[in-house]
Amino acid sequence: MQTDTPATRFGPVLLAPGISKLNAWTFLFAAFASIALNTFLSVIMPYVLNTNIGLPTGEQGRVAGDLVFYGELVLISISGLLGAWSDQYGRRVVLVCGLLILGLGYLALGYASTVTQLVAIRMFATIGIAAVTVMITTIQVDYPRAESLGKMVAFAGMSIGVGAIIVGVVFARLPDWYAGMGYAPLEASRLTMITMTGCCVVAALVLRIGLVGGPPPQVREKEPLKLLLAQGIKAARINPKLVLAYGCAFIGRADLVVVGTFYTLWLTQAGIADGMSADEAAKMAGGMFAVVMTSALLWAPVLGWLNDRLDRTLTMSIALLLGLIGYCGMGILGDPLGQWLMPASIVLGIGQMSVTLASNTLIGQEAPAQFRGAVVGTFSIFGAAGILFVTSVGGRMYDGIAPAAPFIMIGLLNGILALWGWWLWRRTR
């Protein structure tokens, strides 16, 4: 997408031909809104399990993991297809439809009364989450010139960080706010989900207005869908850095789910065991989730700076090492509400953001322009596979061993992949 024509500047970012500042601002809003709306589905689940379902505490880790597991089965099934569709019909239409589907999922969630209904709703909502996730990763590569990719990814990471903070300081407090108005817990749950549906609709309207429509310009002709889907695997066969990127997707997406699912569940259960109501425990867990995401937000510019100055394979290895430290640090906490919770949460946020940004930059650098949507879709499939592994195993480790067990597991996986990335960097530099 790089040409000799003068580029539009968006701060320090050089935009690709045909991309305006309005498009860039709208993309950052999309990154902000998407993480807030996607992540809250996991963050609110402990409250739903306690209030809507009345599930015993000893079963919540398994059920929380299973909900994500079944959702990710859907994501694996359709991510490549969504990426290929976006190469044919455009990023905007896929992204807007994804947000509307997610909004319908939230609306249904407020009226769920059984675990079976929760599973069905989660699987439906994941269609929207998949569309949003694949498109955000793809658009952040479409919009900047190649030399500005790291800076755009850093800007997107900061927007994602702000969106995640909103989850903790605003969305997670909605049940408590509605309860404070006099609503019963179940009514507060339903009003919270209706509010989230409204947020999805508003975000979809903004993106419909501000994003570029139609197929991306680098796709000259509409390739057959089967060919587009095959490109994600074919490209990795000839480029070992894409293999690393796919492996990092396996770990990186799981990182965020561990934070959004098991971190908030652990703190919510600890708060209730300490005498808090479900509303108060959800508010406390949301506040600490905001701490994790604030540290991630503040770290994003540092990682973006490293991405544009170091070999991106080396940066990926450093990011995975930080992930090892962050997740294992959280896992060795004795008391989840003790004095070490704050510093452990800060380091956890740094590790999570590092892996997310570095993997997104690496896939953006290595994905062939003509089949970028398909390659990013494959990237998302590997991310979903990582989530399937972590949630299916992690949920049972959470209930059967200790709440800290999923954190130790994901930390060690980060360490293994860091060694692989270091070896690949030494081999290819």
Judge whether residue 57 has pLDDT over 80: no
Rounded mean pLDDT of 378-393?
78
Rounded CA separation 292/167 (Å): 11
Q: Which of 261, 265, 249 is nearest to 69 (CA)?
A: 261
Give mean pLDDT, residues 229-257.
76
Residue 26 is predicted with a pLDDT of: 94
Residue 271 identity (one-letter amino acid): G
Q: What is the mean pLDDT of residues 30-38?
A: 90
> Which pLDDT score is estimated for 216?
67
Q: How confident is the model at residue 98 (pLDDT cuts 50, 70, 90)?
A: very high
For residue 171, is pLDDT > 50?
Answer: yes
pLDDT at 141: 78
pTM for the full predicted model: 0.69
Would you give the distance in Å from CA 230 to the centre of its chain?
24
Domain range summary for the chain, segments of one domain joined by + = 19-216+229-428
In terms of pLDDT, which residue wins out, 101 or 136? 101
The helix/strand/coil state of 10 is: strand
Contact indicator for 85, 94 with CB cutoff of 8 Å: yes
Query: Which has more confidence, 217 or 334?
Result: 334
98 and 423 Cβ atoms separated by less than 8 Å: no
Q: Report residue 130 as tokens.
A: 């998949």
The residue-averaged pLDDT of 177-206 equals: 93
Q: 67-81, pLDDT tens digit by residue? A: 878 887 887 778 777
The yes-or-no verdict on residue 114 having pLDDT over 80 is yes
Q: Which residue has the higher pLDDT, 122 or 133?
A: 122
Mean pLDDT, to the nearest integer, of 290-306? 81
Confidence of residue 124 (pLDDT cuts 50, 70, 90): very high
What is d(CA 388, CA 71) in angstroms, rounded to the nearest whole number? Answer: 9
The pLDDT value given to residue 5: 56
- Segment 268-277 shows an average pLDDT of 82
Has residue 147 got a pLDDT over 80? Answer: no
Ranges 118-127, 235-244, 348-357, 392-401, most confident: 118-127
- Name the residue with higher pLDDT: 158 or 110: 110
Decide: 88 and 215 in contact? Cβ < 8 Å: yes
Please report which helix (H) or strand (E) contains residue 40, including its range: helix 21-43
The arithmetic mean of pLDDT across residues 368-383, rounded, is 72
pLDDT at 120 over 60: yes
Instruction: Give the confidence band of 6 by pLDDT, cuts at 50, 70, 90.
Output: low
pLDDT tens digit sequence for 9-24: 887 888 888 888 999 9
Is the per-residue pLDDT at 29 higher than 90?
Answer: yes
User: How far is 410 from 413, CA to CA, in rounded Å?
Assistant: 5
Average pLDDT on 210-230 reads 62
Report the range of poorest mean pLDDT among 27-31, 239-243, 319-323, 325-329: 239-243
Residue range 19-216+229-428 in CATH 3.20.20.540:
no
Higher pLDDT among residues 228 and 345, named by residue:
345
Confidence tier at 428 by pLDDT (50, 70, 90): confident
Structure token digits, residue 232? 């994600």
Q: Taking all residues of the chain, what is their mean pLDDT, rounded to a whole number?
A: 82
- Tokens, residue 353: 């953001």
Helix (H) or strand (E) holding 14: strand 13-14
On the question of pLDDT at 200 being above 90, the answer is yes
